[in-house]
Structure 1
Amino acid sequence: MLVLLMSVAGAVATAPAASAATYAAYVMGYFKESPNQSGDSYALHLAVSSDGLSWMPLNQNNPVATPTAGMQGLRDPYILRKQDGTFVVLATDLKGRVFNLNNQYIHVWDSANLTGFSNYRRVRLHTMATHSWAPEAFWVPSRNAYAVIYSANNGTRDVFMVNWTTDFITMGSPQVFFDPGFNVLDGDVLVDGSNFYLSYKNLSNGNLYVARSTTGLPNSFTTLTGGLRQGGAIEAPILVKSNTSSTFWLWGDSFSPANAVFYAWQSSNVNGNSWSALNQRAYTAPINAKHATISPITAAEQSALISRWGAPQWNRLKSYNAPDRYVRHAAYAARIDPFPMDPTADQQWRLVPGLADSAGVSFESVNVPGRYLRHSNYALRLDPNDNTATFRADATFYRTAGLADGAWASFRSYNFPDRYIRHSNYALRIDPLGSGSALADRQDATFQITY
């Protein structure tokens, strides 16, 4: 029997799964990395979404749980709803960007509803001279147990191993779960009815794939798809089924922290080879989120999470026609730049009642409080509020339906009412615009208020 680093009380889950609940939202768990490491956080973070695509980070994007043993940091968290309706959180025992290739332990927490975490422990999965990366788990009825799968090297190549458990305390002996004959990384299993879908990264070519099994047992998966990739490099696939339709999403994030962005595909036939890449306009991941996990939750659970951890006290503005870019200040000039960016807070804004008219809106910087976006010679700058009538007027805008998409937003100048905020060569300015303006100009003036 494998050794448990710390003993906690646990019980076998015997109650029916919570699948009978009406899921109306989603929860995401993740850790964080940013290009210059100033935004790194090797702890558990949470976000929620009503549609599974646009995410609101909780607790101001700060951690909700931090490991205190082992390397005192985590990567690759995974949230599983157990058969009794409560949750367990698993994570890789790693901190930072220097990888321990021989760590045999993972972090584990129990949680009733993700508003708190208890029974923290490190669990040993094996005694091999290899790692235990990206642990995930799912229930297999034929075994009456949970499969805990993870990336490891079996002495021949990088494969997925599995341990069987009923309590996430005592682990069975490890065995090979998936070995397609080439190196693999980051396995994620979605259980949908009687099918088990495994997404994984093929380390030989760097692409993501989806495989299927009707049993969920070791060595029973058959690959369904050709390789999928967006960006220069991709990893950490997540398979998600929509709560409201037959749509499936496949998420992945870029390999490099210098380009820590999420990509997504959509399919109405997960059994086929028909995945369509989503435009980044369709989704927004939390700032600096890496190697995430996504689980369905009820509306009541979503409300409880927001109540417990709090909604952000800031927003971001996403460009409509350059959806990888967000409004930020740089040397006090306003512009749109690609995400990710450092400092993180350059792209975060407090939307406050308009300084000249409370029916409008003004944009206060989060990391330079007291400075607001204002136009000067039609160019937008981040300037300190001198409380003059001119400044208040220059820093006030009226939110309207997006000129290119009514579901988004445009911002009309208070004191130049024929002019709207738009980007031009990535710099922000106010220009005359209206319904008769060219489509490209209207797109330049359309933004999404997001997080």
Structure 2
Amino acid sequence: MPRPSRRQFLGMTATVPLAATGALTLGAGTAHAADSAYVMGYFTESPDMLAANYGLHLAVSTDGLNWTPLNQNNPVVTPTAGAGGLRDPFILRKQNGTFVVLATDLKGTDWTYNSQYIHVWDSTDLRSFTGYRRLKLHDMVTHSWAPEAYWDASRGQYGVIYSSVNSSGHNVIMVNYTGDFVTASAPQVFFDPGYDVIDGDLAIGVNGVNYLYYKRNSTLVGARSTSLNPGSFTPFSTPVSHGGTEAPTLVKSLTSGSTWYLWGDTWSPNGVFYAWQSNDLAAGTWTALDQKTYTQPLNSKHLTIHPITTTEYTNLLTKWGTPTWNRLKSYNFPARYVRHADYVGRIDPYAFDPYTDSLWKLVPGLADGAGVSFQSVSHPTRYLRHYSYAVRLDENDGTPAFAGDATFYRTAGLADSAWSSFRSYNNPTRYLRHTNYVLRIDPVSTATERQDATFRVGY
């Protein structure tokens, strides 16, 4: 969430929490023994807000780096109370193996809207959502931003942390305790280093230490504690950022025991995620990942990532389906995606509007079904084709010449065989590539040309 103004502090009231049940001992950032994939939750915005949607969106991944949006990148559930929208969703597997979803009660960007509540859903499998309600956290005239939850074994309850302004006059991380996410204890200050902090995210029980990452001055910073007691966390890490960065999310690799990823979100509506890697959380230092290695879901904002089983991964894909469109990421300019602008094919930095200009249906080749043609989602009667070797978006006139110009053979990537390259059907010595960010077809021989002609087909 963006940095807020100061709010007036009022008194707090409480209700009595219930005891937690279940046998598992999970916390935020902790994987279940059977987990082999990941689910992500998010909402959507874009630079001109054409993608603004404040319902819960889901995506899945097998590596935690490249994501498949579900339900055509449409929401799977939307709040009906409070502001009628959500931001900052969070997914937690509870002690009984089912899930709870929490989210900020806020639709859009009206930062003056104050809610003492957060949205809550229950779900057995993230395919259906029941028991929708709002959980009251405090009586202050301020917000309850970016809620997250964790299991506190010492208390036998869940802690719910969130960003709010207390009597100090700046944002701190608060905590309430609950056994059922229906009622909660009185709020306490969980973390207040003496300056404005928001967007807390926990990794619990890593070699006996708990880690709390948060946003401070548009950077992501970590604190740590050997307990989960309020007030016990001490800042320690080297800040990381890429421009104005917020919404830290810690993710443990399911395939490498020591590898952790830290995701961060730019706070503007552009909604660009960046990722860092560490092989030692205790060191508090992070290395930025090459953007070739990860791809965020289209227009996604303020993510939550939680491990899931192979069965849950498969069932989510079966329930919600994969997108009917693709995006093409440039290999040597991985911040850029293939799009059309004024009917010219080019690669431009994500994110942009209209975002649908970067969505393509890879259909059987118009001249040869063994090849592919790129049908525009935003202009479905138009296809990418070459004309005098320049690539543009033209109406399909039904002629054999157009069909040939608009057909390509997909091959292993010339710069990386895990990626893809596209050889022209009717100019078979030439490949689709970019030069000065504009698409064309050219013969390819040098290392740079091979990189220019290599793309990742994803979402």
TM over 0.5: yes
* Cα deviation code 1:374-404 (max 9, x no counterpart): 1011111111212211111111101111111
Determine the C-alpha separation between the residues in 1 that align with 2:382 and 2:14: 57
SS at match of 2:56: strand
SS at match of 1:301: helix
Q: Using the TM superposition, give the Cα deviation of residue 3 of structure 1 relative to its aligned residue in structure 2, in angstroms.
A: 6.7
Contact 2:25/2:153, CA 8 A, preserved across alignment: no
Q: Using the TM superposition, give the Cα deviation of residue 224 of structure 1 relative to its aligned residue in structure 2, in angstroms.
A: 2.9
| Structure 1: unaligned runs, 5 residues or longer | 5-9
Identity %: 60
Determine the C-alpha separation between the residues in 1 that align with 2:45 and 2:24: 38
Matches within 5 A, 1:237-248: 237-245=248-256, 246-248=258-260
Who is 1:253 aligned against? 265
Say if 1:192 and 1:53 are closer, same or farther in 2 by CA, change over 3 A: farther
Q: Using the TM superposition, give the Cα deviation of residue 104 of structure 1 relative to its aligned residue in structure 2, in angstroms.
A: 0.6
Who is 2:299 aligned against? 288
Contact 2:360/2:377, CA 8 A, preserved across alignment: yes
Given candidates 90, 95, 117, the residue that maps to 1:105 is: 117
Who is 1:41 aligned against? 53
Residue 357 of structure 1 pairs with residue 368 of structure 2: yes
Structure 1 letter corresponding to 2:220: L
Determine the C-alpha separation between the residues in 1 that align with 2:300 and 2:164: 24
Who is 1:332 aligned against? 343
Q: Using the TM superposition, give the Cα deviation of residue 52 of structure 1 relative to its aligned residue in structure 2, in angstroms.
A: 0.3
Determine the C-alpha separation between the residues in 1 that align with 2:356 and 2:83: 28
Given candidates 15, 21, 25, the residue that maps to 1:13 is: 21
Contact 2:432/2:440, CA 8 A, preserved across alignment: yes
Determine the C-alpha separation between the residues in 2 that align with 1:137 and 1:97: 24
Determine the C-alpha separation between the residues in 2 that align with 1:286 and 1:297: 18
Structure 1 letter corresponding to 2:255: T
Who is 1:143 aligned against? 155
Matches within 5 A, 1:74-85: 74-85=86-97
Determine the C-alpha separation between the residues in 1 that align with 2:241 and 2:422: 36
Given candidates 192, 195, 200, the residue that maps to 1:179 is: 192
Who is 2:171 aligned against? 158
| Structure 2: unaligned runs, 5 residues or longer | 1-12
Determine the C-alpha separation between the residues in 1 that align with 2:44 and 2:400: 42
Contact 1:17/1:84, CA 8 A, preserved across alignment: no
* Cα deviation code 1:272-312 (max 9, x no counterpart): 03310011111000111111100000110000101111111
Residue 196 of structure 1 pairs with residue 220 of structure 2: no
Determine the C-alpha separation between the residues in 1 that align with 2:302 and 2:330: 24
Contact 1:239/1:249, CA 8 A, preserved across alignment: yes
Who is 2:402 aligned against? 391
Contact 2:238/2:285, CA 8 A, preserved across alignment: no
Given the two structures, how large is their TM-score scaled by the length of structure 2?
0.93
Residue 220 of structure 1 pairs with residue 228 of structure 2: no
Given candidates 429, 432, 445, the residue that maps to 2:440 is: 429
After superposition, the CA RMSD in angstroms is 1.5
Residue 313 of structure 1 pairs with residue 324 of structure 2: yes
SS at match of 1:108: strand
Contact 2:101/2:121, CA 8 A, preserved across alignment: yes
Residue 51 of structure 1 pairs with residue 70 of structure 2: no
Who is 1:7 aligned against? none
Structure 2 letter corresponding to 1:340: A
* Segment of structure 1 superposing worse, 116-125 or 16-25: 16-25
Q: Using the TM superposition, give the Cα deviation of residue 192 of structure 1 relative to its aligned residue in structure 2, in angstroms.
A: 3.9
Structure 2 letter corresponding to 1:336: I
Structure 1 letter corresponding to 2:181: F
* Cα deviation code 1:11-34 (max 9, x no counterpart): 842232475542111000001111
SS at match of 2:277: strand
Matches within 5 A, 1:254-269: 254-257=266-269, 259-269=270-280
Who is 2:285 aligned against? 274
Q: Using the TM superposition, give the Cα deviation of residue 217 of structure 1 relative to its aligned residue in structure 2, in angstroms.
A: 1.7
* Segment of structure 1 superposing worse, 242-251 or 383-392: 383-392
Residue 441 of structure 1 pairs with residue 449 of structure 2: yes
* Cα deviation code 1:245-276 (max 9, x no counterpart): 1210000010111x320001001001103310
Structure 1 letter corresponding to 2:452: D
Determine the C-alpha separation between the residues in 1 that align with 2:391 and 2:435: 11
